Amino acid sequence: MTVKTALEQGTQLLNGDRLNAEVLLAHAMRCDRTYFYAHPEQELTQIHWIHYGRYLHERKTGKPTQYITGKQEFYGREFKVTPAVLIPRPETELLVEAVLKRIQKGRVADVGTGSGAIAITLARESQLEVIATDISPAALLVAKQNCGRDFSRVSFLQTDLLSPIADHSLDTVVSNPPYVPERDRETLQPEVRDWEPHQALFAGPEGLDVYRRLILEAERVLKPGGLLAMEIGQGQAEAIRALLHNWKNVDIAPDLAGIPRVVLARAVS
């Protein structure tokens, strides 16, 4: 079985999805995808074929490719991911960029850190000191592994939102919280609904339950003029704006598809 034949068969099995066939074969062979273009006639070893077949089967049953390979790129860095954490999405990079444009120093809390992608990126791209919080110990373990032992400006705290953090002690609160309405559960893509952690996806009938609590807690922990930055779901912009009636400089920025995606606001007091 050559690389070329393996990719053709994998693409056919995945209903024409050549990209994921390449990613899974690269994972099986422990190489980069570009290797295939220079070596299409290379024969697969038996162990490569066994692993590739298993990965294709897992993908065919709906398991996300990122959970099969155990990794996802975010902001130019590779992050470990497991079913304990959401898979980082490209649109969340807009949230990181929005924060970096507005603040480069100070103390930040990344609420619901998951894989740690936001917290670690902010710390590595600036001089920010970041507290990464999550209610899930399994998620925090993944985030700590992504951070490694050689980075001191990210600390980790298992907690529900911001409850143990002192009043008026932070310059920024950033979060990509759960925001999928329960009513949308059955319409989600099966690979999201059936594999990603529900605790990090769903937030009440309208998807607003966590925002209501987070905005109140952020108001308590932020210094006057402190920044609150949140990712939001489609159709939630005006509801979130209404929840921020006590804040100033409320700004809602769209993603590349023109969908309102990032909310920014400043604490009054």
Asked whether the beta carbons of 88 and 75 are under 8 A apart, the reply is no
C-alpha to C-alpha distance for 30 and 47, rounded to whole angstroms? 11
95 membership: H or E segment, kind and range? helix 92-102
Please give the pLDDT value at position 251: 96
Last residue of a domain, one of 61, 90, 108: 61
- Domain residue limits at 198: 71-266
Please give the pLDDT value at position 111: 98
Question: Does 144 fall in a domain?
Answer: yes
Average pLDDT over residues 137-158: 93
* pLDDT tens digits, one per residue of 191-244: 999 999 999 999 999 999 999 999 999 999 999 999 999 999 999 999 999 999
Average pLDDT over residues 147-167: 92
Question: Does 66 fall in a domain?
Answer: no
18 and 91 within one domain: no
Question: Does 146 fall in a domain?
Answer: yes
Which of 91-95, 112-116, 151-155 has the least mean pLDDT? 151-155
| DSSP, res 185 | G
50 and 157 within one domain: no
- Six-digit token pair at 31? 């190489």
Question: Does 119 fall in a domain?
Answer: yes
Band the pLDDT of 47: cuts 50, 70, 90: very high
Question: Does 181 fall in a domain?
Answer: yes
- Is the pLDDT score of 152 beyond 90? no
100 and 17 within one domain: no
Angle between helices 18-29 and 3-13 (to 10 degrees): 130
143 and 249 within one domain: yes
- Is the pLDDT score of 269 beyond 80? no
Band the pLDDT of 149: cuts 50, 70, 90: confident
Task: Please give the tally of structural domains in the chain.
Answer: 2
- Is the pLDDT score of 5 beyond 90? yes
C-alpha to C-alpha distance for 255 and 83, rounded to whole angstroms? 26
97 and 52 within one domain: no
Question: Does 107 fall in a domain?
Answer: yes
- Is the pLDDT score of 1 beyond 90? no
Average pLDDT over residues 156-183: 96
Average pLDDT over residues 73-99: 97
Average pLDDT over residues 26-32: 93
Asked whether the beta carbons of 72 and 101 are under 8 A apart, the reply is no
Please give the pLDDT value at position 182: 94
pTM (whole model) above 0.75: yes
Question: Does 189 fall in a domain?
Answer: yes
55 and 82 within one domain: no
CA atoms within 13 A on the CB side of 40: 5
CA atoms within 13 A on the CB side of 137: 0
